[in-house]
Amino acid sequence: MVLPSGETVDPKELSSAEVLSVVAEQMNQVLPIKVGTEIELRSVEGRQGELIYHYVKTTPPSELFDKNRFMEEIRPIVLRRACRSQGMKLFFAHGVCARYDFRAENDQFIGEIIVTPRQCGY
């Protein structure tokens, strides 16, 4: 496998913290990116066996904001997009999980979704 940097990596090493950190570094060069009207992908982190996507809900939560309902509504969207992502196929095929961390602008934790290779048919 060839990383966007041009570095060649043995697919067996794809789930290593070193390789996933390099992948995350490369992704971070084009961030932040808006992924909806109220959500922005701010950074990506690579750890052993997982890529962690850090999202921020850019509109301040009101008193009526229900984080459980928000996570319930976004969960099937995240799962569907992760499993259909061409960029994630190779990672899922080699046992890498994707963790989606959602926070408010003030860094208050909203919730997280973990997508495993098994959930996507790998």
Q: Which of 23-37, 50-64, 85-99 has the lowest mean pLDDT?
A: 50-64
Structure tokens given for 19: 């390789």
| DSSP state at residue 13 | G
C-alpha span between 14 and 55 (Å, rounded)? 23
Q: Is the dihedral of CA 17, 21, 22, 26 positive or negative?
A: positive
C-alpha span between 107 and 122 (Å, rounded)? 33
pLDDT, tens digit, 9 for 90 and up, residues 15-48: 999 999 999 999 999 999 999 889 999 999 999 9
Q: Is the dihedral of CA 94, 89, 80, 99 positive or negative?
A: positive
Which of these, 33, 32, 26, lies nearest to 4 by C-alpha position?
Answer: 26
3-state secondary structure of 46: strand
pLDDT, tens digit, 9 for 90 and up, residues 1-11: 666 567 787 87
